[in-house]
């Protein structure tokens, strides 16, 4: 099987994007995997620090690895939005395929410093073990929290400049880069701004590395397709599938008030997540 690095390179060449979906439980993992396998596309499973604490770091690695080895399928695990070198190192050591150091709230200099520390450790780890772990970092604040917001948070949406992006990538040596190009974490009731696809293209040319779009939930389809054609190679979705899960669970409980078997109660929530993931993967992969 090809590595995650190779699959992302392939996505670049085909001008498609790999979908990245976060999980908090087993049924969401199965829903995401079922959708990806149905379409025969690679997929990335993400765990933020909060999700990781709930699921378990070693448990998440074991689950994803078991599926990948059993089915010989390109499913990968990413440490999403980790905020310290210590937490990034723990994920690399545990067996994650990629990690994100999120220093978006830090000064440029501090963000560079800790990101480079993560990159250097990943290189040392590869020399010692042969395992290639990709390191991603973020520049430009796009808000935080996979939830439903009334309005765009104050201070969010500060776009990343092409020159700063170039300088950041050169100074850190990151494998992947997440710029702020118009998306905001979470769902915004008033609607999200359009993606600045010209900026995406400029940053792609300036940095020469795979680009990642965070805060994808709630964007218009055309924003995704235009961003991907302009240079986005991985797209993160979380809030949309959280909403689908909760709504499906509520409906199931109301329909089956006397049911006490958890897997029966959870089935509708799993199905609803799978539907959302399948539609997003079709869009990202150019599948009609």
Catalytic residue list: 80
CB count in 10 Å sphere of residue 145: 14
83 appears as a binding residue in the annotation: no
Phi/psi at 21 (5° precision): -130, 135
Give which of 91, 106, 3, 105 is closest to 46, Cα–Cα. Answer: 91
Pairing state between β 98-101 and 75-82: parallel
49 appears as a binding residue in the annotation: no
138 appears as a binding residue in the annotation: yes
Residue 102 makes CB contacts below 8 A (sequence gap 6+) with 81, 82, 83, 137, 138
What is the separation, in whole angstroms, between the first and last Cα of the chain? 26
214 appears as a binding residue in the annotation: yes
Distance from chain centroid for Cα 50: 14
71 appears as a binding residue in the annotation: no
d(CA 260, CA 15): 46
Give which of 116, 115, 74, 113 is closest to 97, Cα–Cα. Answer: 74
Positions at the binding site: 81, 102, 138, 185, 214
Positions at the binding site for Zn(2+): 81, 102, 138, 185, 214
């Amino acid at each position: 099987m090809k590595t995650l690095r190779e699959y992302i390179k392939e996505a670049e060449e085909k001008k498609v994007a790999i979908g990245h979906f976060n999980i908090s439980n087993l049924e969401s993992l199965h829903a995401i995997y079922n959708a990806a396998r149905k379409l025969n596309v690679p997929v990335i499973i993400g765990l933020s620090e909060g999700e990781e604490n709930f699921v378990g770091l070693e448990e998440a690695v074991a689950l994803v690895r078991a599926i990948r080895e059993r089915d010989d399928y390109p499913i990968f695990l990413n440490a999403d939005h980790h905020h310290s070198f210590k937490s990034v190192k723990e994920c690399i050591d545990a067996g994650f395929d990629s990690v994100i150091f999120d220093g978006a709230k830090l000064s440029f200099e501090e963000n560079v410093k800790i990101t480079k520390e993560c990159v250097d450790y990943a290189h040392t780890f590869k020399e010692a073990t042969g395992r290639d772990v990709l390191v991603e970092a973020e520049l430009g604040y796009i808000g935080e929290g996979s939830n439903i917001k009334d309005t765009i948070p104050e201070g969010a949406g500060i776009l990343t400049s092409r020159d700063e992006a170039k300088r950041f990538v050169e100074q850190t040596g990151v494998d992947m880069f997440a710029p702020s190009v118009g998306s905001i974490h979470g769902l915004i009731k008033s609607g999200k701004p359009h993606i600045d696809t010209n900026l995406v293209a400029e940053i792609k040319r300036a940095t020469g590395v795979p680009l990642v779009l965070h805060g994808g939930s709630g964007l218009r389809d055309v924003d995704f397709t235009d961003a991907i054609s302009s240079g986005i190679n991985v797209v993160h979705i979380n809030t949309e599938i959280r909403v689908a899960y909760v709504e499906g669970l509520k409906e199931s409980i109301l329909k089956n008030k006397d049911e006490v078997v958890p897997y029966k109660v959870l089935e509708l929530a799993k199905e609803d997540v799978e539907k959302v993931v399948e539609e997003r993967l079709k869009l990202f992969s150019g599948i009609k």
